[in-house]
Amino acid sequence: MSAEPTAQRAPPLLALCAGYFAFYVMTGVSVKYFQGPASAGYPGLADGTFLIYSTAGGSGLCLLICLALGWFKLGSGRTTRILGVTVPEEFRALIPSGICAAVIIPATTLLYSLPISVMVAMVMMRGSIIIVSRLVDATLKWQGKRTSVLRWEENAAVGFALLAVMIPLFESKELKLNAAAILIFVSYVGAYAVRLYLMNRFKLEGLKGDSRFYFAGEQAVATVVLLAAAGLIAAGALTGPLGDAMRTAWLAPPSVWPLALVAGAAYGMVAFFSVFIFLQPGRSATFAGLVNRLTSLVAGTVATSCSHFWLGGKAPAQSDWASLAVIGVAVGFLALGERRK
């Protein structure tokens, strides 16, 4: 059985939360701005067109940070062979984790592009990850990797989080009738479940390489996967409005494409702060999920308000506020459970 390490050096948690909050507000507002109707003076980019630029800007910025700060050199030094190629040992986890990140990155932007408010999208994503975080802790406990007690408050939080996720699913006609939206949401949750499990195994197994190497390696794998997917889409592998919009981004780029790249860079910073919150040493997946989700929910509320008052976006409905209130109860139970541990 592995002990839970606590000595690894990590950035201050409050600083990570502050950066995460600021850049998530920028991300939420920018999606609604760039996809606002051209008739109202906004860029009017299609979902797929903006997705290409935001993904490229975010992934590019993350890789530049990792290269500039030398994070690719911070591995444990141990190696292994995968498919006949010698790679750092951490890549046993980083390859599947990077593939999951390559799913999460575009799925997040697409979820914000749905005909719902930023706040509802936030509640759906954040509530689901609270549930996933709790399941990850339970799995690690069952495997003998985690020694901390799993409290009843955490189970109560999962129940409220599930209720918060179900409210917009039942209330929104657009979501109920949109099979693509449900597929995107399920893909997002499934990829996050695998990714969080791998992150926590990385922390608990006490690898000598630190979280900066994990972030760098995961981003490198995700970028390779995203580039391969982009090549397939350019060759016509994805049909329909989404595929056509993506190819438009390459063949007939709009005049605002440099600004769209900058907006994507903000989402890249979100990924930067989010990963380091989840990789906080000595913290359970449930605790990290609590901090991450609470910060982003507040950011989502601020982004929704900004989109409504500044951009004339969709105002939150009563059911939206109900979902936020329920997720707040879930967060309260999680906080109580963590305080009593």
Q: Convert the pLDDT of each residue in 271-299 to its tens digit.
A: 888 888 888 776 777 777 767 777 777 77
Helix (H) or strand (E) holding 80: strand 79-82
- For 221, list phi and psi in degrees, rounded to 5: -65, -45
- Reported as a pLDDT band with limits 50, 70 and 90, residue 183 is confident
235 has pLDDT over 60: yes
Q: What does DSSP assign to residue 36?
A: S
Pairing of strands 85-88, 79-82: antiparallel
> What pLDDT, on the 0 to 100 scale, is given for residue 7?
40
207 has pLDDT over 60: no
Q: Convert the pLDDT of each residue in 97-120 to its tens digit.
A: 999 999 998 888 787 666 666 666
220 has pLDDT over 90: yes
> What pLDDT, on the 0 to 100 scale, is given for residue 14?
79
Would you state the structure tokens that stand for residue 310, as one six-digit string?
């500044």
Q: What is the mean pLDDT of the chain?
A: 80
> What pLDDT, on the 0 to 100 scale, is given for residue 176?
56
Torsion of CA 300, 302, 303, 309, to 10 degrees: 140
Within 71-169, strands assigned E span 79-82, 85-88
> What pLDDT, on the 0 to 100 scale, is given for residue 170?
66
- Reported as a pLDDT band with limits 50, 70 and 90, residue 83 is confident
Half-sphere exposure of 290 (CA within 13 A, CB side): 22
More confident residue, 47 or 188: 188
Is this model's pTM higher than 0.75 or not?
A: yes
> What pLDDT, on the 0 to 100 scale, is given for residue 2?
42
> What pLDDT, on the 0 to 100 scale, is given for residue 225?
95
